Chain A
Amino acid sequence: MSIATFADGLYATSFSTALRETTWIIPDLQAVHILAISVVIGSALITELRFAGILATDRPAPDVLRRYLPWMRAALWVLLATGILLVIAEPQRTLGNVVFWLKMVLVAGASLVTIQARKGLLRSSAGTNEAAAHETSRGLAFIMLLVWCAVIFCGRFIAYT
Chain B
Amino acid sequence: MTLETTLQQINDLPLSAAIRENINAFPMLESLHVLAVAIVFGTILVVDLRLFGIASHRSSAQRLSAELLPYTWGAFVLAVITGVLMFITNPISYANNTEFLIKLILIAVAGLNMVWFHSTTYRRIAEWDEDMPPPTAARIAGAVSFVLWTAVIFLGRWIGFTLEFFFF
Contact = CB atoms under 8 A, between A and B. Distances in A.
- A and B are partners in one complex rather than unrelated chains: yes
Interface of A: 23, 26-28, 30-31, 34-35, 37-43, 45-46, 50, 55-56, 58-59, 63-64, 67-68, 149, 152-153, 155-157, 159-160
B4 interface: no
B39 A42 contact: yes
B57 A41 contact: no
Interface hub of B39, B42, B46, B56 (most chain A Cβ within 10 A): B42
A10 to B, nearest CB: 22
Interface of B: 27, 30-31, 34-35, 37-39, 41-43, 45-46, 55-58, 67-68, 71, 150, 153-154, 156-158, 160-161
A67 B161 contact: no
Interface hub of A23, A30, A59 (most chain B Cβ within 10 A): A30
15 contacts: A23-B161, A28-B154, A31-B158, A34-B37, A35-B41, A35-B153, A37-B38, A42-B45, A42-B46, A45-B39, A46-B57, A58-B58, A59-B57, A67-B55, A67-B57
Main secondary structure of the interface of A (DSSP, over half): helix
B107 to A, nearest CB: 15
Contacts of B150: 35
B56 to A, nearest CB: 7
